[in-house]
Structure formats: structure tokens, C-alpha cells
Amino acid sequence: GKGNYRHFMEKELHEHPAVIGDTLRQYVDPATRAVSRPALPFDPATLPRLWLSGCGSAFIVCQTARYWFETIARLPCDADVASELRYRDPPMTGGGAAMFVSQSGETADNLAAMKLLRTGGQSIVSVVNVPESTMSRESDATLMTVAGPEISVASTKAFTAQLSVMACLALNFARARGAIDAEEEARLTTALLEVPEHAARLLDASAEIEALAEDIKGARDVLYLGRGSMFPIALEGALKLKELSYIHAEGYAAGEMKHGPIALIDDSVPVISLCPSGPLFEKTASNLQEAAARGGRIIAFTDEDGAQALRRFASRVVVLPKVDPFVAPILHAIPVQMLAYHVAVLKGTDVDQPRNLAKAVTVE
């Protein structure tokens, strides 16, 4: 049941800290801070290329993971939406590997993409939350997310569990490929291990997100912006808002604003940006300033180091704990999901069962 919570989604949001912690414990040795992993049907040290495939929020996990595999593990990587991958017929050289991310493990398009990549000579790994699922059965290896049953149609804790698995794999592959040393691995796993505690604090401070939800609930359109590994989290924010509150929302790479979407900006369009401090901060902040100069209502999620610069032109600045940029996408996913939840509650939509949607999409 949902205990004292109003909705399964609210309960599942509150499970983020425990689920992230449980997932990390499967991979990270707390004493050495090294990442171990179950046996895989390929050697990450010599892997020529990695394919990542998923639908909806699972695809967003793939997009985030691609930044990690490329930048940290120096591994050539593609992230594809399964419904496109299955028909795209990309040229493949045998000997690569493909990972299929899915909460249910039953998503029809992802299963079809799996068949295609197997035929193309790739090793097949699934990252699923349901152990006896079809995707798990049809894979050479399965990596489990230990999120527990997720009832709400909107994915929450499965999403951060999937991100946690992918982050661990990126570090493990990075070591295997000689892209990082043990010291860097320990520094980054330490950052990961601190995420559950930060996540718990965010969940306790929901009043600010609820106030923000009041601001957003009357909007017709909302834009979400991010750069680098925060770009997929902008997509996640937009997807959750659409799915739960039926408000039109789009996620964009912040640098794409001036190539079209900035034409939408006026004072009725909230621009929600995921802008933690780090190497891409200045670039994102200057994109936001351009939107503000055109009357855009800027709402920024950042940390203490980013807050001061953003307060000069943003109408709201939500200050999150300061973390290493590596783990920032995991942490920022939580307030954007909370925001979509609270907007939906204010609008009175069916939070756990949004219209037209199913928990597992088993037909094409």
C-alpha cells in the first residue's frame, strides 16, 4: 500500500535515498571505494563501442550515461530511443556490446531493438528492475536495479536506480580502460555514496518546490534547459511535467535556445534551468541571461556556488547541495520529479495513473 502517502508516486519519491543507497551498495566497496560488478559477456577494456537503448525515462538514463561513458571511460557510445533504433538498421561491426535499460523489462520497442543488435553481433546486457522479465531472459547478462516494485506510472526511484547502476559501470569501465586511476575512482565513488544523504535532505525541504509548483501550475508552456549531463535531466523534467500535469513542456540543450526556442520566450513562459556549478556553468548562465533579457521567467536549480550569479536575473533560485558535477544529474532529477508531482497535485490530475498511459508499454 501507499502507507501515509497520498499517492504511490509520493511514496516512491521518498524512496530515492534508500534505493540509490541499496543500488550503490551492490557495486561500491565502502572500504576501498572501488567499483566491482557482476560478470559481463564482454571485456570493457577492449570494447570498441557501446550501444544504449531505452524508451521514455529509460532513454533519458541512456542519454545521461552516454556522457559518463564518453567523458569518464573514454568509451565510444551511442544512446538511442528504442523505437527508432529497431528500424534504423545501423551498420554494426561485431564485438560491441549493447545495454537495454528498462524498469519493467517488457517494453516492446526495447525488446525489438535487442533482437536487432543481437543479430548484429553485439553482446546483450539488460538493466532491469523486474528479475524474471522478458528482457532479462533474452539477455546474455542482467544487471538489476534494486528499486523494488514501482507502481506509479511515472518513473521515479527506478530512474535514479538506473542512473546509479550506469554511473558505477562508467567508473568500473573507466578503470578497466585505464582512463582513471584508483584515486580518481575513490573520489568519484565517494561523491556517489553521498548522494542518498543529499537526496534525503531535498525530500525534507519540499516546501520550496511546492511554492514553485504554485508558480508553474497556470503556465501553458514550460521550457527546461541544461547542458552536458544536465541536458537529459532537462528532458526528464519536461517529460514528467507533461505526463503528470498535462502542461506542455520541452527540454532543450541550453545552447540550442538561440536556434529556435528563444522565439517562444515571453513573461508567461517559465524557463527552468538545471545549472549546478561546474565547467559548463558560465555557458548555461549566459544562455539564461539571454532568455531573461527577452522577458523569460528564469527558475534555476543550482548550488551555493552558482546561486549568486543566477540571482542577478533569475526570478527564483533553488539551492541544492553542492556535489561533484559527475553526480549532479542524479541529484537534480529528484527536485524536477518533485515539481511535476506537486504541479499535478495542484491541478488535480490522476497522479498515479495519468491519462492515456500504461506502466509497461508491451505493444509497439
- Active-site residues, by number, are 359
Name which position in 53, 57, 122, 273 contacts ligand M6R (CB under 6 A): 57
Told to check if 126 binds ligand M6R by CB under 6 A, we report no
* Interaction residues for ligand M6R, span 339-358 (CB under 6 A): 357
Question: Which residues in 109-189 belong to E strands, given as ranges?
Answer: 123-128, 141-144
Decide if residue 151 touches ligand M6R (CB under 6 A).
no
Among 124, 153, 202, 213, binds ligand M6R (CB under 6 A): 153
Burial letters for 188-203: b for 16+ Cβ neighbours within 10 Å, e otherwise?
A: bbebbbebbebbbebb
Place of cell 553526480: 327
- Fill in the per-residue mask, 65 to 104: x = in contact with ligand M6R (CB under 6 A), - = not in contact: -------------------------------------xxx
Q: Distance (Å, rounded) from C-alpha 248 to C-alpha 241?
A: 8
- Min. distance of Cβ 118 from ligand M6R in angstroms? 18
User: Given candidates 56, 270, 329, 335, which one binds ligand M6R under the rule CB under 6 A?
Assistant: 56
Q: Which of 35, 146, 154, 203 binds ligand M6R (CB under 6 A)?
A: 154
Contacting residue, 13, 40, 50, 58, with ligand M6R by CB under 6 A: 58
Euclidean distance between CA atoms 237 and 230, whole angstroms: 11
Residues in region 105-124 near ligand M6R by CB under 6 A: 107, 110
Closest C-alpha among 322, 67, 31, 23 to residue 174: 67
Assess contact for 27 and 165: CB atoms under 8 A. Answer: yes
Of 137, 129, 97, nearest to 19 by C-alpha is: 129
Closest CB 54 distance from ligand M6R, rounded Å: 6
Angstrom CA distances, 190 to 34, 171, 182, 209, stand at: 10, 12, 12, 27
Question: Would you state the cell numbers that stand for residue 12, as one nine-digit string?
Answer: 516512491
Q: How far is the CB of 336 from ligand M6R (least distance, A)?
A: 12
**Which region, judged by CB under 6 A, interacts with ligand M6R, from 3-11, 16-24, 29-37, 153-161?**
153-161
Query: 243 or 303, CB closer to ligand M6R?
Result: 243
* Complex with ligand M6R: residue 105 or 226, whichever CB lies closer: 105
* Binding footprint of ligand M6R, residue count (CB under 6 A): 17
Residues in CB range of 183: below 8 A, 6 or more apart: none
Nearest-CB residue to ligand M6R? 56
Local structure of 143: helix, strand or coil: strand
Distance CA 209, CA 216 (A): 10
Q: Which is nearer to ligand M6R, 243 or 250 (CB)?
A: 243
Residue 149 three-state SS: coil
**Residue 155 or 302 having the CB closest to ligand M6R:** 155
| Cβ 97 vs Cβ 72: under 8 Å | no
Give me the phi and psi of 28, to 5 degrees please. -105, 130
Which residues ranging from 6 to 45 are in contact with ligand M6R (CB under 6 A)? none
Contacts with ligand M6R, 239-278, as mask; x by CB under 6 A:
x---x-----------------------------------
**Which residues, 6 or more positions from 115, have their beta carbon under 8 angstroms from its beta carbon?**
86, 138
Return residues touching ligand M6R (CB under 6 A): 55-58, 102-104, 107, 110, 153-155, 239, 243, 357, 360-361
